[in-house]
Structures are given as C-alpha cells and as structure tokens.
Amino acid sequence: MNSKIDLYIIDAGNSRIKLGVCIKCEIVSLSSFNSLALLKKELEPNIPIALSSVLNSNFKEDFTNVQNPVFLVSHQVKLPFKINYLTPSTLGIDRICNVAAISKINPFTPRLVIDIGTCIKFDFLNAENEYEGGSISPGLLLRFKALNLFTNNLPLYEASNDLSLIGNSTESAIQSGVQNGMKSEIIGLILEYKAKYTDLNVFVTGGDAHYFDLAQKNVIFADENLTLKGILEIYLLNV
C-alpha cells in the first residue's frame, strides 16, 4: 500500500469515470476509466473513497464489496451552501458537486457554473451562498445522435476542432449547426445572467468544454476538474 495516499475521489459520470488521488487533502493525480472493473484495479484497500455518481444504483452497490470505507455524496449530507431547489431529491449529484467547488470562491458574489458534457448544465449560486437552480439541455453527442436517429438520411458525425461557420458538406454543415448553435446558446444564456447579475463570476467545466473558446472571449474561469474538487470539499465538510 502507498501510505501517502489518504483519499480516493471518484466521479462517475454518464460518459466516463474519473479518479482523483489525494494526499494531505490535495488532488495530486487524475485518471479516467471506461469501466468499473478497470477502476477497481487501481484502488488500494483501506483507503477511504469519496464517491459521486449520476449512474444507476447498481454502480453504487458495487462499492459495498470493496475493502475501503465509502462516503457517498448526496443532497442529504452536509453541504457548503443552502439548497433552494424545489426538488432536491432529483437534483443531479454532479451539479451539487460543481456548486460545492465554487461555494468558497469569491464569496458574497453571484456565481454560475457551466458544465459542458453529456448535457449542458447551468447552476446558479447567489451572493448569499444559496443554490437557486439553473438549466439542463442536450450536449454535443446527444445533438449529433438526435439528428441521426430522427432523420432518414443524416449520418452520425462527431464534433470537430476545425469548425467553420458555413459548412460546405453534410458533415461540416451538421458540425457547424450543432457546435455553433450550442456555442450561441451558451453565450446567450451567459449574457442573460450577466444582464441580471452584473458582478457575476462564471466557471466552466466538463469534458466537452475544450470545443468552445469561452474562457478566451469572456471573463470566465475554466477548470475541467471542478466536480472532483467539489466532491473533496463536501467530503472534508462531513468527514
């Protein structure tokens, strides 16, 4: 056993499972896995696990057999912010973790987290550290799949880093429509929030955030590991 490791942080999302290794309450290394079996091979026994999962209950139950104490993040544990959401039991655990990660950053100001992954999730934390809610819409892959699934002739394409405004082929036209449309949606919502909250701080995270140059064109803080940092924040508050 590596005696220096004092905590594993696991973020089980819809697309992948991320593992953070902590030493002295700091995340020192990160890795991603496509399956639970591969993840479990990396875990040393007896080291605590802080787990956040948006997957089904079977995934969580699989951790009852590991030789590690498991802390499961939920809306019922102690959180570093107040929830004003009307249905907290249906609130995504990843959204809770993202808000926890920014709860101590620039306090007494309104803050917005944008998670660009399987879905686009906007989550708003007011100046009193109260979580108000946000919005959810389809992410890149869901939009590409929808065009393919609900039409007879449109193929399934993937996102491109070499994007043009005017697509000169079916592939580039779909990429332009999906990616530029999604970018306009995100920027448009940011502008609406900023019009209402002039001192707003904006944070961007998620596996598909790199397709959009939001941080370069706006005063936005980008952090792809925001969810993991939120898990750590909640764990330390409770344990």
Reduced to 3 states (helix: H, G, I; strand: E, B; else coil), residue 194 is helix
Alpha carbon distance 116, 27 (integer Å): 22
Looking at 94, 115, 123, 223, which residue is catalytic? 94
Where would I find the beta strands (DSSP E) of the chain?
Answer: 7-12, 17-23, 26-33, 49-53, 70-72, 82-83, 111-116, 119-125, 130-138, 201-205, 220-222
The number of C-alpha atoms within 13 Å of 225 and in the hemisphere containing its C-beta is 17
Token look-up 């590409």 returns 144
What single DSSP character describes residue 218?
A: S
123 an active-site residue? Answer: no
Catalytic residues: 94
